[in-house]
Structure 1
Amino acid sequence: MLLQMQEAARKGDKARLAALLPQTAGHPLEPWAAYWELKARLETSNQAEVDAFLQRWRGTYQEDRLRNDWLLLLGQRRQWSDFARMLADFRMQDDREVRCYDMAVQTIERRQPEHAAQEVVRLWHAQRDADDGCTYAASELYAIKQLDDLAVWKRARLSAEQNRQTGTRRAVTIVAPDALSHLTEVFASPAKYLAGTSKVRGNTRRELAVLALIRMASTDPDQAASLMDSRWAAQLRAEERDWVWGVIGKVSARRLDSNAVAYFDKVGKPERMSDESQEWMVRANLRAGQWHTVRKTIDAMPPSLQADSAWVYWKARALLNDRRGGEAERAEAQRLLQSIASVKGFYEKLALEDLGQAVTVPPAPQPLTAQEQAAAASNPGLQRALYAIRIGLRSEGVREWNYSVGLHVPGGMNDRELLAAADLACKAQVWDRCINTSERTREAIDWKQRFPMPFHDAVIAKANSIGLDPAYVYGLIRQESRFIMDARSHVGASGLMQVMPATAKWTARKIGMTDFQPQMINDRDVNITIGTSYLKLALDDFEGSMAMAAAGYNAGPGRPRNWRNGPVLEGAIWAENVPFTETRDYVKKVLSNTTNYAAMITGRPQSLKARLGTVGPKVTTAEYNPDLP
């Protein structure tokens, strides 16, 4: 019944939802049924009906989620008095658009417009798609001169970098509505636009040229660089030039092009580039061994970006490697490394090793008391979440679980409560909630919760039988599926090791599994056999490099074969320069996980750096396996 309602909700079948709702009375998941039914017809509902729902389900996730939905509708309708009344009880405070609507209200009422402007710029610029709330708030602030032209054009540039024409159009509508007719050509044919004679003049003409150069750079950075050198650099202002050169450098760096450093060298002030361009400027200079520029670029980053453990680590390394540095720089490097060093993450581990320490299993926290366990077991939100996951409503269960443990809610559970909640999930074998909940503790660290080893005998036996490090297998499974047996990705990968159908068929044939059928990939033991066998084949193909094999497992083997070309790099620099964000994050997490699992399995200190090794062009004459999918 609940599964039928979930399907009806996805289809927007209001009649089906209304017919099924009475049958859920008294059901443990009745709040979900009531939410789906009202959400489907929310646009035609009224405040009284919404208030009745909120009162009926007070304190639940569903109450706060419907409040979020209603706030978005009130914002779209510009019903500000109702919006302000509803906002006061919104607990999650995790919706950027709602926050922007709140800033719009403050702007309309002339309350702290300077603060509103700073907050709106932060939220607006951080969005992938510029939504109604932040666009509206920005337009209101622009109208009262609390937002300048540059802030609006920067939003247009960020959207153009991501090929998001709607976001660009929304920003240009605020600052230069007369220029909207030119945007189609700017996106569709930037070269044609740049070669033409635009009727637009002044600041708008330059900014449209910037947008066109950004779009050109996304497909042909060398052509964009040529146009900058021959014509546009002289016509743009310094800030505009730096942004364009930043984009040209970023795209080149993503392609691991040796021209990237030269393009970045044309940037006068790195702080005038986008955050993403600054990050790629660091990466390109890491590849080139230009430590002084690495440090200078990180110093130019906004404080929020500088605080990221990746850039803390690389700044420390730059201070240690810059020949111009002295004793003060070395002391600062030590301070930076100490500020992040721990066994928790990739760069935290590298910092720990740079300080002369190894990765070891941290002491276990005090055992949970019976009272702490009972409190978690009786938590109604956690109970509903586990029930939902158990009957197949995983998405709903995960959201309710996260809300119940305090994710996106100010305050939330303390460390002991989080450990108890994680323990509850572990015992229910809901491993993803066990891991994610335990990872939220601030001081107490339970390594067995964070790095569980389900299916221990099957994984260890299979890994050992083919000469594969069991810790590597566990590190990869933890990242791939969080040990969810029926996990299925949006591209069709299945099971614990997220194996693609074609890869499964190829691997089965390669290892002599003559009876393999596609549906068998969902069997636990078959999935482990196929996944570990493919990982071993990939590892052998990459001459034992765990970093490259992990990259190949995630992005296909052809890409890391190309990514390894160029200078011989320490593994951490190579991993940081992986062009795909998802794969870059994946490689770092798999190797970090592997190091932790090795410490647990062997009981001995471990080194992440040893597993990363160095990466460079292929050194043996052996050919790659041409069939490896």
Structure 2
Amino acid sequence: MRRAAMAFARRRRGARRWWVAGAGILFAAQLLAPPARAGGDDDFMAAREAFRTGNRARLEQLAGRLKDHLLYPYVAYYRMRMGLEQATPSEIRTFIDTYRDSQVSQRLQADWLRWLGERGRWELFRQEYARYEGDEVDLQCYALQAAALVQGFEALREAKPLWFTAREMPDACIPVFEGMVSGGILTEEDIWTRMRLALAAGKTALASAIGAYLPEGQAISAKALQAVADQPERHVQQRGDRTASRADRELTLFALQRLARINPAHAASYWERLQSQFPAEDRHFLWGRLARAAALAHKPEALDYFRRAGDLEGQDDLLAWKARAALRAEDWRTVLEAIDRMSPGQRQQAAWLYWRARALKRLGQGAEAAATLARVASDHGFYGLLAAEELGGVAATAAPVHRPTEAEVAAVGRLPAIRRALALLRLEQRIDGTREWNYAIRGFDDRQLLAAAELARRHKQWERAISTAERTRELHDFSLRYLMPYRETLKSVAQAMGLDEAWVYGLIHQESRFVPNARSSAGAVGLMQLMPATARWVAQQLGIKSYRRTMVEQIETNLTMGMYYLKHVYERLEGQPVLASAAYNAGPRRAQSWRDVQPMEGAVYAETIPFNETRGYVQKVMANTQYYAALLGRGGPPLRQRLGTIPARGASERSMPEGEP
């Protein structure tokens, strides 16, 4: 341990010397200057601001100067949107038809439909909705309201899938749901079912609002639900044996679910004493919820709880966690049984096809396993790579490569919608630019998609290039899916830090898709999406005395600080890239806590990460790494070998000092 610590200290001093030596280059450089604006761009941005602030007079003043600007359709949209109440149907339809090749056409159409629905202009709404291609939920609900006026309650049966969700639904759906209750389409059991969904998501106010659809006297107040959420064990101790009404039982079931989030075994011990007073369906329901909580916490009792939950057929979320718990326990028969009970849609996902094949192989059904793996191996993601390796094949980078011709790239570049998208992205209007781009390519075939991706690459719109190249179905160019911008700087920093360049590229591909000024809703910044606290900590480790938050926005600085932290967690977690990738996303303490008491296959660790975001993140980073290694000409180990074995918890685990992110 002491030798390892001394080695780490030497590497840290080396990294610091490298940093200090390059400080003049890294910190003297200013942020990359934005591209020079085309004529009229300042007026366009001013018009956009006038629209945002509701300054119609200023917008009209600027509009006259922008008639010939590439982005005039947006100015026209701003004008039409601000005057929507005064516009005639003919004027609105003329706008929609005139700018049909831009997302502003569909955007105004949605705005108009919303305006018509809010005012009950149903005849006009029906006419226009028939021409609409979007799928916004509030507009669906307005359309159902309009249909019910003609067809009666029966028209509302189509809305039933909208009911079963833990999300708050738009106000436009309230009359629909009320009509479904009045028409007998929604039963009391349907209402309790959605209340359970809301409570499982911790949304007590929503659950109470849903309960308002129940017959008088059956609803549960938001205050009562919040009291249980705040002190679940107190409720179980004082009122857990009250089962006379459905409301009493649901409160106890909710309390035990809340308690299980902290300690599944403790909640199960209460349930052992209380369950005999509850109907069989409640007993099975709660054992399923306790099993899920135990599986999320990687508790060995999870499989026992799942057995008590009874038949889970069609309950895909519970079956997924049953399969994951069985993977950690190496119970391949239960893995197979859980996957086979999933709905057809989930059962056909690459992950579950792969694990089903692995289970079949372990259970001696090699021929069926090979046939199943062959179905997955054509997928270009994490499980496709693993399946190809399992079959002894070559990774998916061997798929045919199609390079777009100059004529194909030029043809895409002439499309007005593509030109508008690039102009918006150049002006750093990323949301509108991305929407315009996606609207433009929505009907493209593979050749056009790759031509558009190449065009985006030439304009250094890395994220658009990657996302567009990923849409192809038969013709692929993996050099566009896995771009390598900033190569000189990234390679230099990775070598100085002693990190695998392919892994770093794979991680940045997932973090920011190489958008240098990317900012997450949580506050992460730049190519490597550094959180402010992490950046401050790294600055302290590197001895940067005059650190400022703006420094991390510089490309070189962001790469250096991000890779320093990545190297730090990599060494803290025994040089295991799966653990380090999980730690980079969710924190090193969590990554450590997800280990088991015995060594575990890296792919099993990745699949059983309890956070959906982190699970997908780790799988994508590791798959990306394989592609980058191939494109860099380095080859390297197969993915399964790269994933390796996750050491047992406590075997050589190092504690995280206070203050480390």
TM superposition score category, shorter chain reference: 0.7 to 0.9
Q: Deviation at 1:468?
A: 0.9
Partner of 2:334: 293
Gaps of 5+ in 1: 407-411
Distance 1:445 1:134, change over 3 A: farther
**Aligned counterpart, 1:253:** 295
The SS at the match of 1:128 is coil
Partner of residue 425, structure 1: 456
1:109-148 paired onto structure 2 within 5 Å = 109-110=150-151, 113=154, 117=157, 120-126=159-165, 128-148=167-187
Match of 2:126 in 1: 84
- Deviating more after overlay: 454-463 vs 179-188: 179-188
Q: Who is 1:69 aligned against? A: 111
> Following TM superposition, by how much is the alpha carbon of 1:627 offset from its aligned partner in structure 2, in angstroms?
5.2
**Percent of pairs with identical residues:** 35
Task: Provide TM-score, normalisation by structure 1.
Answer: 0.88
**Amino acid across the alignment from 2:192:** W
* Aligned with 1:416 (options 447, 454, 460): 447
Q: CA deviation at 1:622?
A: 5.8
2: distance between equivalents of 1:111 and 1:348? 49
What does residue 69 of structure 2 align with?
27
Match of 1:236 among 248, 256, 279: 279
Aligned match of 1:165 in 193, 204, 215? Answer: 204
Deviation at 1:290, TM superposition (A): 2.3
Alignment deviations for residues 74-102 of structure 1 (CA, whole Å, 9 cap, x no partner): 444444323221112212x3323333444
C-alpha contact (below 8 Å) 1:565/1:617 kept by paired residues: yes
The code of the aligned residue for 2:305 comes to Y
The answer to whether the 8 Å contact 2:153/2:183 transfers is no
Asked if the contact 2:208/2:221 (under 8 Å) is kept, the reply is: no
Deviations 1:494-517 (A, max 9, x none): 211112233223324434556654
Alpha-carbon distance between aligned partners in 2 of 1:202 and 1:184, rounded to the nearest angstrom: 18
Using the alignment, how far apart are the partners of 1:356 and 1:101 within structure 2? 54
| Equivalent position SS for 1:179 | coil
Match of 2:347 among 273, 298, 306: 306
Matches within 5 A, 1:92-241: 93-106=134-147, 109-110=150-151, 113=154, 117=157, 120-126=159-165, 128-176=167-215, 178-189=217-228, 191=232, 195-196=238-239, 206-207=249-250, 209-218=252-261, 221-232=264-275, 234-238=277-281, 240-241=282-283
Match of 1:409 in 2: none
Aligned length: 614
For 1:168 and 1:627, the matched residues in 2 are separated by: 39
> Can you list the C-alpha shifts for 1:6-27, whole angstroms capped at 9, x where unaligned?
4555566667656655554332
Output aligned runs, 1:477-496, within 5 Å.
Answer: 477-496=508-527
Q: Is the 1:282–1:294 Cα contact (8 Å) retained in structure 2? A: yes
C-alpha separation in 2, matches of 1:86 and 1:374:
36
Between 1:205-214 and 1:251-260, the stretch displaced more is 205-214
Counterpart for residue 584 of structure 1: 615
1:488 Cα deviation from its structure 2 partner: 1.6
Residues 42-77 of structure 1 deviation map (CA, whole Å, 9 limit, x = unaligned): 578775664454244334211102222333344444
Check the 8 A contact 1:480/1:498 in 2, yes or no: yes
- Between 376-385 and 617-626, report the one with greater CA deviation: 617-626
State the 1:577 CA deviation. 1.7
Cα distance, 1:84–1:178 mapped onto 2, change above 3 Å: farther
Deviates more, 1:370-379 or 1:397-406: 370-379
The 1-side partners of 2:57 and 2:344 are apart by 52
2:307 counterpart of 1:276: no
Please give the alpha-carbon distance, in whole angstroms, between the structure 2 residues aligned to 1:103 and 1:606. Answer: 55
Are residues 1:353 and 2:389 paired? yes
Q: Which secondary structure state, in structure 1, belongs to the residue aligned with residue 219 of structure 2?
A: helix
- Of 516-525 and 305-314, the range deviating more from structure 2: 516-525
Greater CA drift, 606-615 or 162-171 = 162-171
Question: Closer, same or farther in 2 for the Cα pair 1:504/1:609, shift >3 Å?
Answer: same
Partner secondary structure for residue 395 of structure 2:
coil
Q: Structure 1 residue 525: deviation in Å?
A: 1.5
> 1:152-184: CA deviations, max 9, x gaps?
332222121112234424432334454335343
Seen in structure 2, the aligned counterparts of structure 1 residues 158 and 572 have a Cα distance that, compared at 3 Å, is same
| Residues in 2 aligned to 1:186 and 1:614: alpha-carbon distance in whole angstroms | 44
CA deviation string 1:263-316 (max 9, x = no partner)? 22211111374x333322222222222222222222222222222212222222
Rounded Cα–Cα distance in structure 1 between residues aligned with 2:463 and 2:506: 14
Counterpart CA distance in 2 for 1:598 and 1:618 is 32
Q: 1:623 Cα deviation (Å)?
A: 5.5
The C-alpha deviation readout for 1:404-431, integer Å capped at 9, x for no partner, is: 111xxxxx11111111111111110101
Deviations 1:234-265 (A, max 9, x none): 42342x33332222222232222333233222
CA distance in 2, matches of 1:436, 1:130: 30
Q: In the alignment, what sits opposite 1:597? A: 628
Query: Per-residue CA shift, 1:96-151, capped at 9, x if unaligned?
Result: 3333444454555449959x63x534344356333334554444344333444433
Name the CA distance, whole Å, in 1 between partners of 2:124 and 2:250.
39
Q: 2:100 aligns with which of 34, 47, 58?
A: 58
Aligned partner of 2:538 in structure 1 is: 507
2:553 — aligned with what?
522
Q: State the partner residue of 1:388.
A: 424
* Aligned counterparts, 1:448-597, within 5 A: 448-512=479-543, 516-597=547-628
**Equivalences for residues 359-370 of structure 1 within 5 A:** 359=395, 361-370=397-406
Q: Tell me how far apart the structure 2 counterparts of residues 618 and 542 of structure 1 sit (CA, whole Å).
A: 11
Alpha carbons 1:130, 1:170 under 8 Å: kept:
no
Question: CA deviation digits over 1:380-420, x for unaligned, max 9?
Answer: 111111100101211110111111111xxxxx111111111
Q: 2:651 aligned to 613, 619, 622, which one? A: 619
In structure 1, what is the Cα distance between the partners aligned to 2:323 and 2:113? Answer: 41
AA partner of residue 279 (structure 1): A
Unaligned runs of 5+ in 2: 1-42
Q: TM-score, normalised by structure 2?
A: 0.84
